Amino acid sequence: MSFIDYFQQNFIPKVNKNVNIKFRKEISGDKGYDNNLGSLYGVELESDNYSGYIYFWDKGFLDFSVICLEPYEELLPVQMIEVDSYTNQAGYVNEVIRYFM
């Protein structure tokens, strides 16, 4: 199961229906996309008040952030943590989506 599938199955029901959700999937080596972190699987969330994202890089990193749009404020500054799997990182995912419930 990809991070996107995991998010859809476990967290979409918690997200407010008015939140705009965009999924990102960038496969390392595809169309010239490459970096040291591997392929990216992510979720971008935007509401009237907040913007945020959660990315899982398949070489074992979780990257996330949330900002308040007005007035501008970083509520969860950009963080990247090394993880062994995204499935045991629900606490971080919940920390992001609580702004979008």
Question: Which pLDDT belongs to residue 83?
Answer: 86
Which DSSP state fits 97? H
Bridge partners for 57 per DSSP: 40, 61
What is the tally of structural domains in the chain? 1
Closest to 15 measured CA to CA, from 86, 77, 94, 69: 94
- The confidence band for 84, taking pLDDT boundaries of 50, 70 and 90, is confident
Which residues span the domain enclosing 73?
3-100
pTM over 0.75? The answer is yes
For residue range 30-60, what is the model confidence (pLDDT) as tens digits?
665 666 788 899 999 999 999 999 999 988 8
